[in-house]
């Protein structure tokens, strides 16, 4: 039965269009303050991305030197399905460094806003266009497939972005990445921009969103709704400052809202997140969508009562899809249905007065410890009450 959360395709959208995921955990993710992956960790992450069906791996910055060139090349050799891409500035020496990795693809970045042009020694918009016209063909002539990244596109003159698209196409580039480098856009604006870019160019269009305002996932979905073909993401949203659009959120939100689909294997997202969390030394928050420890756990009495009758009453995502299981936990907000369910799992039962007494104990304990009361503790409470009152008995 359709409802307000069901997607009705709009005129300019095709239902469930396949889009490409470009993962930058090994490039922008590693730029997060204090994060430094070892070679072994990079290979582990690359293999996990590849196994999870991620289309493209942005593997790093060859201009950083020999060690990076070596490991980026190695990532290219271990990836079985994903395309592996080197990142560089729009400079001849960065093209040369990318070539030394042995990879066939490179993404070359230019500043798009006047402010960034000034800070990076560009003479102005004409200089940006001239460098694209010179460097992209040079990289192409040396056998590379070339995408162009537009850094700080969100603060660029909109007409200039269109001129860059033309320049990229004329120079033989296959894709333009619109980067919201400072994470300052909002979804409606992003969708409008992408509609305009889509109408003006046949290039592949990618969105790279930062999460400074907590809008990276929403902005990425909006870019795709506006016509983007690719989404730049990082596992757990790792990246500069507040990070990037989280891969797992984008992939699952696209599937759940029904507008687009990806090749991501949902059953592998948690393992991928665990690999990246361990390598980055970052703790995954319990309430992190999809992969957080608590996101398939339920405590509130009203929720648990509903869930026990029909899981879909309070569950948007089926935990088994992600290799997870639903957990009912007991705590300050539990109700009688949860207590009865817990006792049943333990092979115990209680009459109404006993269940209410156990519930009171559960609430009290949760308040004191500020932690959920685990299932075995219900058995202890049941036993204690049985000793005191004789109200309880084993379930028949
Ligand atoms: C928004 C982003 O994520 S951008 C990507 C950020 N990633 C990184 O910085 C990767 C790690 N970086 C590094 O290892 C180093 O910065 C290197 C190897 C790339 C360059 O190192 P250095 O030569 O020491 O330069 P430094 O880091 O001091 O400054 C950056 C230089 O790149 C230039 N630059 C920055 N962006 C661009 C660009 N898109 N096109 C051309 N040049 C650029 C700057 O103007 C500056 O040039 P300068 O040295 O002539 O002043
Ligand atoms: O130019 C690009 O490829 C994007 C660089 C980037 O990470 C950003 O702008 O946030």
Q: Tell me how far the alpha carbon of residue 51 lies from the centroid of ligand 2, in angstroms.
A: 25
Torsion of CA 49, 54, 60, 66, to 10 degrees: 60
Q: Which two tokens stand for residue 214?
A: 């907590």
Q: Would the pLDDT of 54 be above 50? A: yes
Residue-wise pLDDT tens digits, 174-200: 999 999 999 999 999 999 999 999 999
Confirm whether 287 is domain-assigned.
no
Inside any domain, residue 170: yes
Query: Is residue 118 located within the same domain as residue 91?
Result: yes
Question: Is residue 212 situated within a structural domain?
Answer: yes
pLDDT score at 259: 82
Mean pLDDT of 306-311: 97
Residue pair 241/228 in contact (Cβ under 8 Å)? The answer is no
* Mean pLDDT value of segment 46-50: 98
Which of 255, 257, 258, 375 is CA-nearest to residue 322? 255
Q: Whole-angstrom Cα distance, residue 162 to residue 201?
A: 8
Q: What CA–CA distance (Å, rounded) separates 168 from 203?
A: 8
Other CB atoms within 10 Å distance of the CB of residue 67: 9
Q: Is residue 123, in this structure, part of any structural domain at all?
A: yes
- Residue whose Cα lies nearest atom 47 of ligand 1: it is 120
Residue 285, pLDDT > 80, answer yes
Confidence category of residue 15, pLDDT binned at 50, 70, 90: low
- Taking residues 273-277, what's their average pLDDT? 98
Residues 171 and 120 in one domain: yes
Mean pLDDT of all residues in the chain?
95
CB–CB of 299/331 below 8 Å? yes
| Nearby residues of 343 by Cβ (< 8 Å), 6 or more positions away | 349, 350, 355, 358, 378, 382, 395
1 within domain boundaries: no
Torsion of CA 230, 234, 239, 241, to 10 degrees: 80
Is residue 11 very low, low, confident or very high in pLDDT (cuts 50, 70, 90)?
very low
User: What's the rounded Cα separation, in Å, for the pair 298 and 315?
Assistant: 9
Do 262 and 332 lie in a common domain? no
Q: State the average pLDDT over residues 68-81.
A: 98
Q: Rounded to whole angstroms, how far apart are CA atoms 200 and 192? A: 13
Cβ atoms of 392 and 382 within 8 Å: the answer is yes
Tell me which residue of 330, 376, 260 sits closest to 15, measured CA to CA: 260
Name the residue among 63, 54, 112 with its Cα closest to residue 86: 63
Residues 203 and 250 in one domain: yes
Please check whether residues 250 and 385 belong to one and the same domain. Answer: no
Alpha-carbon distance values, 175 to 194, 230, 389 (Å): 14, 9, 74
Instruction: Give the Å distance between the CA of 210 and the centre of ligand 2.
Output: 9
Answer yes or no: is pLDDT of 13 > 70: no
Q: Return the ∠ at Cα 347 (arms to 336 and 307), rounded to 5°.
A: 40
Last residue of a domain, one of 280, 310, 331: 280
Cα distances (angstroms) measured from residue 326 to each of 51, 132, 288, 315, 319: 25, 52, 16, 9, 6
Residues with CB under 6 A from ligand 1: 28, 31, 61, 63-64, 89-91, 109-111, 120-121, 151, 181, 240
> Quick one: average pLDDT of 220-228?
98
Q: How far is the CA of 261 from the centre of ligand 2 (A)?
A: 24
Q: What is the extent of the structural domain holding 48?
A: 17-280
Calculate how far, in angstroms, residue 319's C-alpha sits from the geometric centre of ligand 1: 43
- Within the chain, strands assigned E span 17-18, 20-23, 56-60, 83-89, 105-111, 145-151, 175-180, 204-209, 230-233, 260-261, 297-298, 327-328, 348-350, 392-394
| Mean pLDDT on 277-289 | 97
Nearest-angstrom CA–CA distance, 28 and 74: 19
pLDDT tens, residue by residue, 156-169: 999 999 999 999 99
Task: Band the pLDDT of 8: cuts 50, 70, 90.
Answer: very low
Check whether residue 303 and residue 261 sit in a common domain: no
Examine the domain organization and report whether 331 and 369 are in the same domain: yes
Judged by DSSP in three states, 162 sits in helix
CA of residue 28 to ligand 2 center, whole Å: 8
Classify residue 363 by burial, with Cβ atoms within 10 Å: 0-12, 13-18, 19+.
Answer: middle
**Token pair belonging to 342:** 């817990």
User: Same domain, yes or no, for 88 and 39?
Assistant: yes
Domain match, 130 and 224 both: yes
Is 286 contained in some domain? no
Give the pLDDT band (50/70/90) at residue 258. Answer: confident
Average pLDDT estimate for 99-126 = 98
CATH of the domain at 264: 3.20.20.70
Number of domains in the chain: 2
Shared-domain flag, residues 160 and 22: yes
Last residue of a domain, one of 247, 280, 313: 280
What is the value of ipTM here, to two decimals?
0.98
CA gap 142, 101 in Å, rounded:
13
- Report which protein residue has its CA nearest ligand 1's atom 44: 120
Predicted pLDDT at 277:
98
Q: Report long-range pairs for 3-6 (Cβ below 8 Å, ≥24 apart).
A: 5/257, 6/258
Last residue of a domain, one of 280, 305, 322: 280
* C-beta of residue 105 within 8 angstroms of C-beta of residue 62: no
For the segment 285-295, the average pLDDT, to the nearest whole number, is 97
Domain match, 317 and 199 both: no
52 and 190 in a common domain:
yes
**pLDDT value at 244 more than 70:** yes
Q: How many residues does the chain have?
A: 396
Q: Is the pLDDT of residue 9 over 50?
A: no
Beta strands 392-394 and 348-350, pairing class = antiparallel
Residues with CB under 6 A from ligand 2: 28, 107, 109, 149, 151, 177, 179, 181, 208, 210
Q: Is residue 292 part of a domain?
A: no
What is the predicted pLDDT for the residue at 388? 82
Would residue 318 count as lying in a domain?
yes
């Amino acid at each position: 039965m359709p409802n307000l959360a069901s997607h009705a395709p709009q005129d300019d959208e095709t239902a469930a269009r396949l889009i490409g995921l470009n993962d930058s955990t090994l490039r922008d993710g590693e730029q997060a303050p204090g994060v430094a992956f070892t070679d072994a960790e990079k290979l582990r992450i690359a293999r996990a991305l590849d196994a999870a069906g991620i289309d493209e791996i942005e593997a790093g910055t060859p201009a950083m030197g020999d060690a990076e060139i070596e490991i980026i090349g190695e990532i290219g050799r271990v990836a079985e399905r994903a395309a592996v891409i080197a990142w560089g500035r729009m400079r001849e020496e960065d093209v040369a460094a990318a070539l030394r990795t042995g990879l066939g693809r490179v993404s070359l970045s230019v500043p798009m806003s006047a402010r960034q042009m000034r800070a990076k020694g560009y003479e102005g918009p004409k200089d940006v266009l001239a460098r694209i016209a010179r460097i992209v063909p040079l990289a192409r002539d040396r056998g590379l497939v070339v995408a162009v990244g537009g850094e700080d596109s969100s603060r660029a003159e909109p007409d200039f972005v269109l001129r860059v698209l033309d320049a990229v196409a004329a120079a033989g580039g296959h894709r333009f990445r619109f980067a919201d480098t400072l994470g300052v856009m909002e979804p409606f604006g992003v969708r409008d921009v992408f509609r305009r870019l889509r109408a003006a160019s046949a290039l592949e269009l990618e969105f790279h969103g930062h999460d400074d305002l907590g809008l990276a996932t929403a902005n990425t979905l909006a870019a795709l709704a506006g016509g983007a073909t690719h989404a730049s993401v990082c596992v757990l949203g790792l990246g500069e400052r507040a990070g990037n659009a989280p891969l797992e959120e984008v992939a699952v939100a696209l599937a759940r809202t029904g507008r687009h689909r990806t090749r991501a294997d949902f059953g592998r997202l948690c393992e991928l997140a665990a690999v990246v969390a361990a390598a980055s030394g970052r703790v995954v928050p319990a309430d992190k969508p999809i992969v957080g420890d608590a996101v398939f756990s339920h405590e509130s009495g009203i929720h648990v009562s509903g869930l026990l009758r029909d899981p879909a009453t309070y569950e948007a995502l089926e935990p088994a899809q992600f290799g997870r299981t639903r957990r009912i936990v007991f705590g300050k907000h539990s109700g009688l249905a949860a207590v009865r369910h817990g006792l049943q799992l333990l092979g115990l039962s209680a009459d109404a007065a006993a269940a209410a007494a156990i519930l009171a104990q559960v609430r009290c304990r949760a308040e004191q410890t500020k932690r959920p009361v685990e299932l075995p503790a219900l058995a202890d409470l049941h036993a204690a009450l049985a000793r005191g009152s004789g109200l309880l008995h084993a379930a028949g």
